[in-house]
């Protein structure tokens, strides 16, 4: 006779959430990041940049060409995903030349898989490019957050699979009425709460959408498990407010628009807390701060400029050029707001767009330049 499985008690299910709650108390700013990553010299596969990787799971692998036998374990990581969902970046971290890297990789594996091979690159934040420890893997989810560091083994493959499920699953912005009740891991936790917890784990990422979803879920009286788990995350977020305020203050120095956005989030979501009150006062003070207002105005121009730049596709059309609208917008941004974070981001993107960072004029690759 078959019996239905006995549901786990509420207390047990909440205990399963504790590892996620612990994430909220851990600053993520010192870990390796995609922001500031250097993709070194391109050797093969799609050309990538941090901007092109947004929304995709990214697997960054340090590989030593002196140990070719590890290549197969790296390519096996691609078996469970499509190129649209996952980007595998193999970084040859040993001294040598790009030509030697290409020869070593093609000799090590004959499998034609969609990966990007680079020579002597590195991640931002932390640096895992130590040949003595290669192959070493860093896995980033679709939010750009580091979720795993290790070697290309079963645990790594599991981390990639989990990141793919969270990235391609339910949007964190859906209302509680649309929340799927089927959990990603049996009946342990609701599908939407895992990506929300991941988003809240980054103290430097605005999270109004995630908090709205959690507030709706916590008020769901028809599903006590969902409500209890959502409330636990809200409580954990409240305990992490001091770190989030410190992150906003630090971020405002290096990236004023993002710092402003995070500070505004705190002001809106924790008005009764000391951190929320301080954030509200800071946002009010910034209204009279000419430098901050210039940063915010420049950021709007940058977002419009970046949207134009994202339309360029030199892989499909290698001889194409930036549009006049893009070059004019680039020049206008640098002329009006030359000393802003937006101008710095534009200059960093200029090479990818084939523009001279200083003049904004078309700068074709050497193999296309006229003699």
Question: pLDDT tens digits, residue range 82-141?
Answer: 556 788 898 888 888 888 888 888 888 876 677 889 988 888 765 555 666 778 888 887
At 195 the pLDDT is: 61
At 304 the pLDDT is: 93
The answer to whether residues 204 and 137 belong to one domain is no
The answer to whether residues 311 and 254 belong to one domain is no
**How far is Cα of residue 305 from the mean position of the Cα atoms in its chain?**
20
The answer to whether residues 121 and 52 belong to one domain is yes
Residue 329, pLDDT above cutoff 70: yes
At 297 the pLDDT is: 97
* pLDDT tens track for 229-276: 778 777 777 777 888 888 889 889 888 998 898 899 888 877 888 999
Query: Which range marks the domain in which residue 232 is found?
Result: 171-286
The answer to whether residues 301 and 223 belong to one domain is no
Which band of pLDDT confidence, cut at 50, 70 and 90, is reported for residue 52? confident
The pTM assigned to this predicted structure is 0.59
Query: Two tokens at 92?
Result: 């040859």
Residue 4, pLDDT above cutoff 60: no
Choose the final residue of a domain: 114, 141, 167: 167
Q: Which helix (H) or strand (E) holds 215?
A: helix 208-218
49 part of a folded domain: yes
User: Alpha helix locations (H) across 50-124?
Assistant: 71-75, 98-108
The answer to whether residues 47 and 77 belong to one domain is yes
226 part of a folded domain: yes
Sequence-separated (6 or more) residues with CB below 8 Å from residue 57 = 81, 85, 86, 87, 139, 140, 141, 142, 160, 163, 164, 167
Q: Are 201 and 147 a contacting pair, CB within 8 Å? A: no
3-state class percentages of the chain: helix first, strand second, coil last, to nearest 5: 50, 10, 40
Choose the final residue of a domain: 241, 270, 286: 286
Which band of pLDDT confidence, cut at 50, 70 and 90, is reported for residue 80? low
22 part of a folded domain: no
The answer to whether residues 95 and 207 belong to one domain is no
Tokens 């040598």 found at: 96
23 part of a folded domain: no
Provide the 3-class DSSP secondary structure of residue 221: coil
The answer to whether residues 81 and 131 belong to one domain is yes
228 part of a folded domain: yes
CATH number at residue 145: 3.40.30.10
Query: Two tokens at 76?
Result: 């096996």
118 part of a folded domain: yes
The answer to whether residues 98 and 39 belong to one domain is yes
At 258, give phi and psi (nearest 5°): -70, -40
The answer to whether residues 244 and 347 belong to one domain is no
Sequence-separated (6 or more) residues with CB below 8 Å from residue 204 = 28, 29, 247, 248, 250, 251, 258, 262
Query: Two tokens at 365?
Result: 């690759």
Which band of pLDDT confidence, cut at 50, 70 and 90, is reported for residue 81? low
When divided into structural domains, the chain yields a total of: 3
What is the DSSP pairing of strand 86-92 with strand 136-140? unpaired
């Amino acid at each position: 006779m078959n019996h239905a499985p006995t549901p786990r008690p509420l207390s047990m299910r909440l205990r399963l959430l504790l590892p996620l709650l612990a994430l909220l108390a851990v600053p993520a700013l010192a870990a390796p990041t995609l922001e500031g990553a250097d993709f070194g010299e391109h050797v093969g596969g799609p050309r990538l940049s941090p901007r092109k990787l947004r929304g995709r799971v990214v697997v960054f692998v340090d590989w030593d060409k002196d140990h070719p036998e590890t290549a197969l374990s790296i390519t096996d990581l691609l078996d469970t995903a499509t190129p649209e969902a996952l980007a595998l970046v193999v970084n040859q971290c040993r001294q040598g030349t790009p030509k030697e890297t290409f020869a070593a990789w093609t000799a090590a594996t004959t499998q034609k898989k969609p990966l990007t091979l680079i020579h002597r690159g590195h991640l931002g934040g932390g640096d895992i490019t130590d040949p003595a420890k290669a192959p070493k893997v860093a896995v980033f989810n679709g939010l750009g957050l580091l979720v795993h560091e290790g070697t290309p083994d079963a645990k790594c493959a599991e981390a990639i699979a989990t990141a793919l499920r969270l990235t391609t699953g339910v949007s964190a912005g859906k209302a509680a009425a649309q929340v799927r009740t089927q959990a990603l891991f049996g009946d342990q936790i609701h599908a939407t709460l895992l990506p929300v917890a991941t988003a809240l784990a980054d103290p430097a990422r605005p999270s109004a959408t995630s908090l709205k979803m959690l507030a709706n879920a916590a008020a769901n009286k028809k599903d006590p498990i969902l409500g209890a788990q959502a409330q636990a995350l809200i409580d954990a977020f409240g305990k992490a407010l001091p770190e989030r305020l410190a992150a906003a203050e630090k971020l405002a120095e290096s990236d004023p628009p993002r710092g402003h956005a995070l500070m505004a989030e705190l002001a809106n979501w924790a008005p009764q807390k000391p951190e929320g009150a301080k954030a509200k006062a800071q946002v009010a003070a910034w209204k009279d701060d000419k430098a901050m207002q210039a940063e915010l105005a420049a950021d709007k121009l940058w977002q419009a400029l970046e949207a134009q730049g994202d339309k360029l596709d030199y892989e499909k059309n290698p001889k194409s050029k930036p549009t006049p609208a893009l070059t004019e917008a680039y020049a206008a941004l640098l002329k009006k707001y030359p000393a802003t974070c937006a101008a710095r981001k534009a200059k960093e993107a200029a090479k990818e767009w084939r523009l001279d960072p200083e003049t904004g004029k078309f700068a074709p690759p050497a193999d296309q330049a006229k003699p």
